[in-house]
Amino acid sequence: MLAGTDLTRWAKLLALAGIAAHMTLVAFGNVTDYASNWAFVQHVLSMDTTFKSPSLMWRAVTNVAVQEVAYLLIILAEAVAALLMWWGFARLWQVRMALPADFHAAKGLALFALAWGFAIWVVGFMTIGGEWFAMWQSQAWNGSTAAARFFSMTGIVMIFVAMRE
């Protein structure tokens, strides 16, 4: 039977791997189903399905080249997050049987990676997409609920992994 510390470490490793796998699939999906998610980014940035309030529409980005760069940056940020999460997982895996202080000391990269992923959802989707580009106003192209779900999952795992034994 595993001791409490062992169970907690396994739970942290599993939780981190789960978020890493999710972020990997998000980035992979954006590459392999480029057109679907490209349409999402275009609609959000152009604000074409919002209430079209004149006081907000000046924020719209309709230049296709700028939209494409934004989408590529999103994909890059997601791919980097996934890679960092797996790298952080590998570091923690290496010290899974170490003393508590050593295990805790090895969490830096994993926590940075989780914070990076958290920022993608909170800053990128909720703040920039949701508020700046008024994504919340769109019936058809609103990713706020999914982003909230993703940043909640990532944030909970980040807190859990950060906890000392």
The total domain count for the chain is 1
Residue 2's pLDDT is 57
Residue 50: per-residue pLDDT: 98
Measured in whole angstroms, the distance separating CA 74 from the mean position of its chain's CA atoms is 10
Structure confidence by residue, pLDDT tens digits, 125-144: 999 999 999 999 999 999 99
What pLDDT shows up at residue 3? 64
Structure tokens at 122: 């909170």
CB 136 within 8 A of CB 114: no
How many CA atoms, within 13 angstroms, populate the side-chain half-sphere of residue 23? 31
pLDDT at 1 (0 to 100):
46
The CA-atom distances, in angstroms, between 75 and each of 8, 80, 81, 111 are 32, 9, 10, 20
Domain encompassing residue 77: 4-162
The answer to whether the CB of 136 falls within 8 A of the CB of 148 is no
The packing angle between helices 144-162 and 108-119, to 10°, is 160
Res 110: pLDDT: 98
Handedness of CA 56, 51, 118, 8 (dihedral sign): positive
Low-confidence ranges of the chain (pLDDT < 70): 1-5
